[in-house]
Every structure is written in structure tokens, then in C-alpha cells.
Amino acid sequence: MFKKICFLLAFLSLASISIADTVTLNPDRPDEYVVQKGDTLWDISARFLQEPWYWPTIWQGNPQIEDPHLIYPGDVVSLKFKDGQPMLTVNASGMGVNGRNVKLSPVVRYYDNDDAIPSIPVDAIQQFLTRPRVVTDEEMDKWPYVISSYDQHLISGAGNKLYVRGLSEDSTVTRYGLYRKGPAYINPRKDKDKVLGYEALYLGDVVIEKRGDPASVIVTLSKQEILNGDRLVAESDEDASNEFTPSTPYRDIDANILSVFNGVAEIGQYQVVVVDVGDGDGVEVGSILAVYQSGTIVKDEIATEIKGNQRIEIDPDDALGGMVDSIRNSITDFENSDLGRYLGRPNAKPELIELPEEYAGVLMIFRIFENVSYALVMKAVSPIHVLDSVRNL
């Protein structure tokens, strides 16, 4: 573990130097920008940088003061240069030139009465920070399960009483989420027989009414109909990480988009996708990856025609050769006839060519499981599709 940490720190140090050399300012950048409600640090950085995910690089020269991560609507973000290097500073709303200069930090924080802006549009991923989940067969088989409802209806919903087996009598947990095994995540481009995990479909919430075997629970919230065999898992008050610092994966990534939530055909900005890269594969929360459209398969009609026109060389003096030549002349006469032209000349098997991959956008990893991760598409320059490639920038 210590060696891994040392390697990671060394890599990130080198990555920081590399990124510093590649920061490109937006040619249409403003000299300053007044922060608006609904902004994110990503959006603001995009006004100044062509690649907004490099924003941590140009914060390094900013002074450190108390609460440096808080940026509010009305604050003025300015681009300045220090020793020839760009630097973003923030002038607090309502303050003069001697106002505060603060570090633009990519950390998301929640405050009850605070309008500080987040780093990315958290609303787009809020429901995915805890639900749904990605599980294995073995994991889900260990969860308690519904055996019946109070009135023995096949379908239950909010307000219904359910009977459950498998709950630990020693547990003090009173709230559980209801889940059902969903689609399997498989990458057919790598191994069509390997299941990377299953989506656990969130159905609703229950509270314990009476413990025992079976125990009784009350459905407090239902998103879908609840059936016998649906599983329970203890709800945690602790969310998945909601701090998103753009970073470079510490390994080369060669992955694909496996799925998109909401089942759209073409994936765009701020949509959540599932990628076949997980814990231990070199990514972490905040990792930035490029998306490349998979090359389209097209028919090479010209190559097909050339192959169709190729003739086998024969000896016309050979008896068999003379017969073949006679047959060939008959075929040629037929092809030149009206009927032959109408039916078309027999073609060789079409040659299929895969076009090169094309850059399509950028995504950020925000939740990681064993073999897959959830990612938010931050930039889409063209439509993105399931099985498109995902690699290092």
C-alpha cells in the first residue's frame, strides 16, 4: 500500500507538470466574469480555458486563506498572470480592489444557508451517489428478501405491510432500501461471457415494524411495484464521495461505455453512463477520460468491384482452358445484354472497413465499484453511443 501511495504521489506530481505545459487559454475568454446563480466551477473555467478540467493547475499560485473554496454568485473571477503563468483570482462581491483573492477549489460542499457554487452540476448525479448500485450475484443473494405481503397480493406499494426473511435479529438498523436485480453489465467487445456486475434497481424504502423470522416491515416509499423475492439492504446515512477534483488516471485506460441511464440512443452532456473500469483499474473519483466514437463499419464498394473484375489467367491452348474461355465469353455476352444489366453483375463478397475512431467528448468518473464505474459526460462535441471507447486524454 505504501509503495502504491508513493507511486501515485510521484505520478500526480509529474502529471501536474505535464498539465501545466498543456493549459490552453480560450481565445474568446473575458478579462473577468461575474459569478451567477447556477454556475459551476467547470462552467466558469470553460470561459477562460479550452480544457476546463485543467483548472487546478492555474490555482496553484493563489493565496491560501480561510474557506478558500467558497465562491458565491456576485463574486468576480479574473484572469491574471504571474511570472507569465495564468492564474484565476476571485474578488468578493461588494468589495473593492483590496477584496479577497481566493483559490478556486474543485471541492463540492453543502451548507444549509449557503449559495456557494459547486464544481460540477451535482443535481445531475445526486440520485446516483447512493442509488442505484452495482452488485454481484453472490452479494445480492445474501440480502434479506420479501416472501409475502400482508394481504398476499402479488404487487405491493407505499403503505403496505411486507414480510421479510433473512434480517439479523441482532441488527439495530430500522431503515432499508428495496432492490431488484437488473441488467447484467457485459462488454461484448472484450468478453461477451464475462459478467462485470448487475445493476441493482432501486424500488423504494421500508422501516421495520416487528423483528422476527419472518419480520414485518412497512413500505414508506415506492418507486416501482414491489414483488416477492425483492431484496433489502440497510440504508446508509453516508453518501458516496461528492468531492470532484479533476485528475489524470494513474494507469492507461482502455474501456468502453456499457450503458446509459434512461435508455437514450444518443448520449449528450450531463448524462450518466456506466464504464467498464473499476476499483484498482487506475481511476478515482474525479478522473477525467476522453470518449471516442467507435469507428463505423462501411462497405468498400470500389474494392469489391475491383475484386469482381479480377480474372483468372488460363492457357487458351489447353482443352479445359478453351472451355472456360467459352463459358466466360457467354457470361460476358449475358452481362452486356439488357437482362444482364437489369439483374446486375454477380458481385464479390463486400469488403467491410472500420473507419477510424473520432474524438467525441469528455467524461468524469464520480462513483466506483469493483469492475465498473459511473461517469458524467461533461463535454460532448458529437453524439456518444454505448460501446464507444473511453481512454486517457
Question: Which pLDDT value is given to residue 16?
Answer: 38
Would you state the pLDDT for residue 76? Answer: 87
Sketch out the chain's domains with CATH numbers.
Answer: 2-119 (no CATH), 131-234 (no CATH), 254-296+355-391 (2.40.10.410), 304-349 (no CATH)
* Per-residue pLDDT tens listing for the chain (393 residues): 433 334 333 333 333 334 445 678 989 999 899 999 889 889 988 999 999 888 877 754 444 433 445 688 888 888 888 788 888 877 776 544 334 444 444 444 343 335 778 888 888 898 888 877 899 888 888 999 999 999 888 899 999 999 999 998 888 899 999 999 999 999 999 999 999 999 999 999 999 999 999 999 999 999 999 999 999 998 765 555 566 888 899 899 999 999 998 777 889 999 999 999 999 899 999 999 999 998 778 888 777 666 655 554 555 555 555 565 666 666 666 556 655 554 554 445 677 888 888 999 999 999 999 999 999 999 999 999 999 999 998
Look at residue 103 in the predicted model and tell me its pLDDT. 46
Three-state secondary structure of the chain: CHHHHHHHHHHHHHHHHHHHHHCCECCCCCCEEECCCCCCHHHHHHHHECCHHHHHHHHCCCCCCCCCCCCCCCCEEEEEEECCEEEEEEECCCCCCCCCCCCCCCCCCCCCCCCCCCCCCHHHCHHHCCCCEEECHHHHHCCCEEEEECCCCCCECCCCEEEEECCCCCCCCCEEEEEEEEEEECECCCECCCCCEEEEEEEEEEEEEECCCCEEEEEEEECCCECCCCEEEECCCCCCCCCCCCECCCCCCEEEEEEECCCCCCECCCCEEEECCCCCCCCCCCEEEEEEECCCEEEEHHHHHHHHHCCCCCCCCCHHHHHHHHHHHHHHHHHHCHHHHHHCCCCCCCEEEECCCEEEEEEEEEEECCCCEEEEEEEECCCECCCCEEECC
